[in-house]
Amino acid sequence: MDGFEQSGETPVSAGTCLLTVVSPRRDEGNSPTGIVGRCLARQLLAMGRHVRVVAEPDQCGGWPDTVEVVEGTITRPLECARAFDGVEAVFLAGAHPSTVRDALALARNARTGRVVLLSSHGPEYEAAHPPETWFWLAIEKAVEHSGIAWTHIRPSAVMGAVVEGTYPATGSDWPDTVRADGTVREAFLDQGHYPFIHEEDLAAVVAAALIGNDHTGTVVEAVGPPLSTRSRIRSIATALGRDIDTVDLAADESRAIWRRRGWPDGAIDVTLYALEEYGARLAELVQWTVAQRPSVQDIIGRPPRTYDDWVRENIDAFR
C-alpha cells in the first residue's frame, strides 16, 4: 500500500524526518519501535521538524495530528517507496536484513542525508559467527555501506517495552501477574540485574543524532544503569501503595513461563544470561556503563529519567 493518510495540514517539504515502525513482535530483531517512535515524533515536532511515519497497519493510530502516516512496512520497503520522497533523515527501526538494502537504496535515491539505525547489543557477538547467521550486524553493515551518513544506536532494554509487548522478557508478564494476584514470579529474583533506558531518553538520543552531526559515523551506546529485579518490584509496589508478593523461580521455570508467552529461546537465553551476568559482575558492568562517552546525559543535556519516573507514568498498566 502506498497511500498517505494525511492527519494534519502540514505540507510535505524538504527537511522531513521519516520514522519506521513495525508491530510488536517477539522474534529475532524485535524492538519497541512504536513507543520509541511516538516519543521521537513528539520531540521532533517540538523542534519544528516535519515528521512522516511508515507504520504497519496496527501502528497507524495514536500519532500527533501533524504527523503524516504512510501505511506500510519497512520490511517490504518497495511497496511504500513514495514515503522516502523529500526525506532528509531516516530513523530506521524494525528493518530486516533481507530487505534493508532496498530501503537504503530508496533513501539514497531520494538524496536522504542521514540514517539513524535502532540497533541492538548483538553485533559484537555476531561478528564471531558466519555472515549468513548475522541479523543486527548484517543491518549495521548494510547501513555503513549505503553511502549515506549514519549513526547506530545500541540501547539498553527500553522500560516501556514491557507495556508494548517487546523486549525484555524480564518483567514482560509483571503487568498481568501483578493485576491478577499481586505477585511477581521470576528467576534470579534476589541477585538479578538488567540495564534499562526510558523510551523518552532513547528518543532524545535518536533526535540528537538525526538533526546534528556530532554522532555521524559512530556507534552510540544509549545505555542506562543495571537495575536490580528487587528494586524494580519495589518501585511498582510503592506507586501502587501496596505490597507485591514474590516467588523466586529456577531458571528453567522462568524459561517455561516465557516460552508459554511466546518468547523464542534466543530471547530467553539472552535474558537469563544478562540477569545472571549483571548480578555476578555488577561493579564491572556498572563501570562500563558509567564509562561510555558520550553518555546519555551528555547527549540529551539532562539527567536520564529513572525507573521510578517510568512507573509513575505507567502505573495504570499494573492496577
pLDDT in tens, the chain (319 residues): 344 333 333 333 347 999 999 999 887 677 899 999 999 999 999 999 999 999 999 999 999 999 999 999 999 999 999 999 999 999 999 999 999 999 999 999 999 999 999 998 877 877 888 888 888 899 999 999 999 999 999 999 999 999 888 867 889 999 999 999 999 999 999 999 999 999 999 999 999 999 999 999 999 999 999 999 999 999 999 999 999 999 999 999 999 999 998 888 888 988 999 999 998 999 999 999 999 999 999 999 999 999 999 999 999 999 9
What's the pLDDT tens digit per position in 100-141? 999 999 999 999 999 999 998 877 877 888 888 888 899 999
Task: List the grid coordinates of 110.
Answer: 531520494
Residue type, 49: R
Query: Does residue 20 sit in helix, strand or coil?
Result: strand
Rounded to whole angstroms, the Cα distance separating 191 from 83 reads 47
Residue 255 CB contacts under 8 Å (≥ 6 apart), including other chains: 187, 268, 272
Rounded to whole angstroms, the Cα distance separating 206 from 41 reads 11
Long-range CB contact pairs, 264-273, < 8 A, 24+: 264/26, 264/27, 264/28, 266/28, 267/26, 267/30, 267/167, 267/169, 268/169, 271/168, 271/169, 271/170, 271/194, 272/187, 272/188
Across the strands, what pairs with 219?
A: 152
CB 285 within 8 A of CB 224: no
DSSP per residue over 48-72, as a string? T-EEEEEE-GGGSSS--TT-EEEE-
Give the per-residue pLDDT at 101: 98
